[in-house]
Chains A and B, each alone.
Chain A
Amino acid sequence: MTNKNYTGDDIVVTKNIDKIYPNGCHALKNVTTNIKRGEVVVIIGPSGSGKSTYLRTLNQLETITSGSIMVDGVTMYDEGTNINTLRENIGMVFQSFNLFPHLSVKENVMLAPLKVSNRSKVEVEEEAETLLTRVGLAEKINIYPTQLSGGQQQRVAIARALAMKPDVMLFDEPTSALDPEMVGEVLDVMKSLAAEGMTMVVVTHEMGFANEVADRVLFMEEGELLVDDIPENIFGTVANHPRLQKFLSNIL
């Protein structure tokens, strides 16, 4: 079902997404936006604004109440759409890393290519080593995740997601659980990914990263997508939206 040969410009197309939890909480209100190939989109907003929920709908960790989502040209929730094969093309990095503690760093990276894509071990092992070298953890490949610092764990998590060669990478507050001195190493890896042309959707509070790397910044509040603009207009001298202005003045 995955469309590895999909050549369209829009990797992610979301139209009029609504998400209402069973308890009545209206988490997403009519969110519509597209994410283009190679684009880095940063989502900002106060906590509880629905930005993580929106991100998690993109690989169906959260289901939606109404609207439509298309990733890689495949419409989610269509009959005949296999969410598992679709997810192979969508990398995800979590706030709390979620590495598999019973597997070594290398095995963490190799698990999905081996068990999901059924590829040969030699090839997968070689790629895992290359990926871990790329995120600066070549010496740690045989260590278990609990022996790593938070920043190192998050870099392994990025390598693990990249191992499936996804078309788009989702980052759910990747630096929020890190000690301040480790934020930089993770952001550096993300910057280099962006420079290589990876399509990225990043939920973060790192305004510096948003300003520097993002092609587009989305500002969400109370489930609504309020501002969708280039970073220059968002972080410019006068933000053009009162609620955005208030949010920025609170955190900057």
Chain B
Amino acid sequence: MNKKTNNLKWHLLFIFTIGLISAGVYVASQSINYKWQWHLVWPYIIDTSPMDIIAQGDATASVDAAGTLTLTYDNGDPDTVISNASQLLVSEGDFIYEGDQIARVDSVRSGLLLDGLYMTLKISVISLLFSIAIGLITALMRISANPFFKNLAILYIEIIRGTPLLVQIFIVYFFLGTVFDLDKFTAGVVALSVFTGAYVAEILRSGIQSISVGQMEAARSLGMTYPKAMIYVILPQAFRRTLPPMAGQLITLIKDSSLVSVISITDLTKAGREVVSGSFATFEVWFTVAVLYLLLTSTLSWVIQRIEKRLASND
């Protein structure tokens, strides 16, 4: 009972402290005369502004009684018919030139930040799958008795862990990208997977080596080959044991993906930068970007905790 009231006191203190920090941020921004304009950020998440429709070539416009606009192109291309326009910018018989705005259409579409979030999600998920595959293969090579595989794995891990990710991204993009003619997205995925793969390899290696020798001996004495013993006995246990450090590494991967913005992939970070230069709502945009990253990482963290709990119930 006493314990509970005690805890309540600390919870209140926690809420009070958070309030204090928020107030501090507000006061600080007041002191530099910053005017918060959160409404400027919203269109960059969900864009509800009418969409302009641009003429694809020189044409003649005709509008019927129902308000349907038909463009008949001079070069004989199939007609463009627009029946859902909220506003027509041309009238019957107008001559239209290529690139003219001819109408506006109501639309709800994802804004730049949401597109950036999607790109970050896409590049992270693809890199995550590749990095686990690379990590698994490297871990198995690392513990192999064969000096060729073992040294190759050690060399790879040491090089990757000893150089900054940003430098690796530049090397992959400018060197490998030029040699193998990679587009920037592929280059980004390669750099992130190869980087994270080295860390995943070390995590998995420690996991595999933490399984007692008796497990391998028991599996082998039942007649299993080394690969079968690995697949059915050692790896399932190693994966379970390495789940917490693996979660940390994969969350790091999502955050590190912000570095691919330097090779002009429009991920969440680059989208943030573009939105700032368009809206001048610097503080609001970066806070929003941070929250969106937090959304991704906390979701992944939650999923892995669920898996961990489910597996733990078996023990």
Interface residues of B in 216-259 (CB under 8 A from A): 217-225, 228, 232-233, 236-237, 240
* Docked-complex contact B315 and A146, CB < 8 angstroms: yes
Give min CB distance, A12 to chain B, whole Å: 15
A84, B215: Cβ atoms under 8 Å?
no
With both chains docked as a complex, state the minimum distance between the C-beta of A109 and any C-beta of chain B, in angstroms: 10
Per-position 1/0 for B123-164, Cβ under 8 A of A: 000000000000000000000000000000000000000000
Q: Please report A residues at the B interface, Cβ cutoff 8 Å.
A: 59, 61, 84-85, 87-88, 90-92, 94, 96, 98-102, 111-112, 115-117, 144, 146, 157, 160-161, 164
Instruction: Identify which of B214, B221, B232 contacts A111 (C-beta below 8 A).
Output: B232
Query: A117 contacts which chain B residues (CB < 8 A)?
Result: 223
* Given known A100-B215, A101-B315, A146-B315, contact A115–B232 (CB-CB < 8 A): yes
The answer on a CB contact under 8 Å between A98 and B240 is: no
Using a Cβ cutoff of 8 Å, how many contacts connect chains A and B? Answer: 66
Listed residue (B219, B223, B240) with the most chain A CB atoms within 10 angstroms of its CB: B223
Pick from B215, B224, B232: contact of A98, CB under 8 Å: B215
Cβ contact within 8 Å between B223 and A61: no
Known: A115-B232, A144-B314. A100 touches B218 (CB 8 A): yes
Report how far A102 CA is from B214 CA in the complex, Å.
Answer: 14
Q: CB-defined interface of B207-219 with A at 8 Å, one 1/0 digit per residue?
A: 0000010110111
Closest-by-CB residue of B relative to A113 is B222
Contact (Cβ within 8 A) A115 B224: yes
Footprint of A on B, CB under 8 Å? 212, 214-215, 217-225, 228, 232-233, 236-237, 240, 314-315
Indicate the member of A85, A99, A102, A146 with the most B CB atoms within 10 Å. A102
A19–chain B nearest beta-carbon distance, Å: 17
CB pair A102–B240 under 8 Å, yes or no, is yes
Q: Is the CB of A94 within 8 A of B236?
A: no
Contact A115 B228 (CB under 8 A): yes
- How far apart sit A98 and B234, CA to CA, in the bound complex (Å)? 12
- Known pairs A84-B224, A101-B315, A111-B222. 12 more at Cβ < 8 A? A61-B217, A84-B220, A85-B223, A87-B221, A88-B222, A92-B218, A92-B221, A92-B222, A98-B215, A100-B215, A100-B219, A102-B237
Chain A residues within an 8 Å CB radius of B222: 87-88, 92, 111-112, 116, 160-161, 164
Cross-chain contact A61 with B221 (CB below 8 angstroms) = yes
A161 to B221, CA, bound (A): 9
Quick one: which of A88, A98, A99, A157 contacts B223, CB cutoff 8 A?
A: A88
Query: Are A94 and B233 within 8 A (Cβ)?
Result: no
CA distance A79 to B140 in the complex (A): 27
Residues of A close to B224: CB separation below 8 A: 84, 112, 115-116
Q: A94-B217, A94-B218 are in contact. Are A102 and B223 (CB under 8 A)?
A: no
Q: Is the CB of B223 within 8 A of A94?
A: no
Q: Which residues from B are CB-within-8-Å of A61?
A: 217, 220-221
**A–B complex contacts, Cβ < 8 Å, 13 sampled:** A61-B220, A84-B220, A84-B225, A90-B221, A91-B221, A92-B221, A96-B214, A98-B214, A100-B215, A100-B218, A100-B233, A100-B237, A164-B222
